[in-house]
Structure 1
Amino acid sequence: MINLAVRGDSREIVARAEAGVEWTAAFADLDAASFPMLFALTPDGDAVFNQRQMPLLLAELDRLPAVCGGEWVAQARGLCQVVERGMHLYLWFLGD
């Protein structure tokens, strides 16, 4: 399970998603050129996205194959908005 949270520079959690990303082989099959942000996800590692990357990440979420979707997508969008409105905030995908 990959958990999602917004953290500041001090790494303190500002917001978090209730739903996590259920890792499936479909994520590993995403095309790196079409999904460069989401291609960075791994089931056991962390991926961090900054404010400038939010438009790219949101665009990828809009066209994400249904097999990779779930409740986490809407919650990730909400967390992206938190990052966009704040300063020195980052969206973390936290692998197990």
Structure 2
Amino acid sequence: MINLQVRSESGAIQARAEHGVVWGPELARLDHSVFPMLGHLLPYADTAFNSRQVSSLLGEVPRLPPGVVTDEFASELLELGQKVLDGQHLYLWFVGD
């Protein structure tokens, strides 16, 4: 399971998603040339994105094929990503198992 968090520069958790995403073949097989940000996620490691990277990431979410992530996860991803963009010195963390 990969969960989402918004963290400050100091690492303090500012917000977290209620829904995670299960690592599966659909997510593992994303074409890196089409989904360069989401294509870098790993199932058992953490991945952090800064605000510039989050801008690119948010453009990928609406283009995801059906079934890669749940609607709930996609909605929270967009919401937390926007929180990073609206704040200062915030990062979006994908926290792997």
TM-score by length of 2: 0.95
What is the rounded CA distance, in whole Å, between the counterparts of 1:94 and 1:54 in structure 2? 15
Deviations 1:21-42 (A, max 9, x none): 1111111111011101001111
Equivalent position of 2:68 in the other structure: 68
Deviation string 1:22-80 (CA, Å, 9 cap, x unpaired) is 11111111101110100111110111111111221111101011121201110010001
Return the letter of the residue paired with 1:11: G
Counterpart mapping for 1:6-85 below 5 A: 6-70=6-70, 71-85=72-86
Structure 1 unaligned regions, length at least 5:
none
- CA separation in 2, counterparts of 1:65 and 1:20? 17
**Percent of aligned positions that are identical:** 50
SS in 2 for 1:56: helix
Q: Is 1:94 matched up with 2:85?
A: no
Aligned residues: 96
